Amino acid sequence: MSELVQLEAQTRDTHGKAQARRMRREDGRVPGVVYGAKKAPVSISLPHNKVVKALEHESFYSQVLDLKIDGNTEKVVLKDLQRHPYKSVILHMDFMRVDANSKLTMTVPLHFINEEAAVGVKQGGGVISHNLTEVEVICLPADLPEYIEVDMAAIGLDQTLHLSDIQLPKGVEIVALTHGDDHDYAVVGISAPRAQEEIPDGAPQAGETEVLGEKSGDGE
């Protein structure tokens, strides 16, 4: 688990879309809310520029964060993020408090290693196909991984690695696998490259056009 990401926030009393727009435009702040852990929800605002900077880190989306609200620190995870459809503007953020003794469900990215060294690639000249790039896990906050590594070194040609094949950190479960074997989805596979289709002798080549009904020699 990586070091905790820290952000500072302030409580806010204003609500509504108009007030939120004014906050973003005039104050350069992002409205948000903190909820969970059997406590009342708290409306907050965060500095937009610092939020944008924090979002550059992949771990911000899947890690426990230290959120300092009016000087008091709460441990939270990001549960929802709303972006403007075409501007580089964060519209709203939802954070959920975490309880050290309660498991939480989070989506964690997959990092694929040894792709070029995979048996199916190095020896078989195969092509890698990624079916999943992230996975939903359940664990205690202290066990939440920043990412999960998927080692492809042993995958051969025409072989597929499934969720159940992933080596998980201690204390971490994949949510899909708790629903039965029929949810053991394919994660990544290596297949043989598609052979180039051979062009029959005499067939028109690229850039050539066969004209139907045209006869050689003089006309009428």
Q: C-alpha angle 29/30/31, rounded to 5°?
A: 120
Mean pLDDT of 17-46: 89
In terms of Cα–Cα distance, which of 72, 79, 65, 66 is closest to 33?
Answer: 79
Q: Would you state the structure tokens that stand for residue 133, as one six-digit string? A: 């790039």
- Return the bridge partners of 30, or none: 46
Specify the pTM: 0.80
Domains of the chain, earliest start first: 5-97 (2.40.240.10), 104-191 (2.170.120.20)
Split at pLDDT 50, 70, 90, the class of 37 is very high
Over residues 110-152, the pLDDT tens digits come to 999 999 999 999 999 999 999 999 999 999 999 999 999 999 9
Over residues 141-187, the pLDDT tens digits come to 999 999 999 999 999 999 999 999 999 999 999 999 999 999 999 99
In terms of Cα–Cα distance, which of 53, 81, 75 is closest to 63?
Answer: 75
Q: Would you state the structure tokens that stand for residue 163, as one six-digit string? A: 């969720």
More confident: 139 or 22: 139
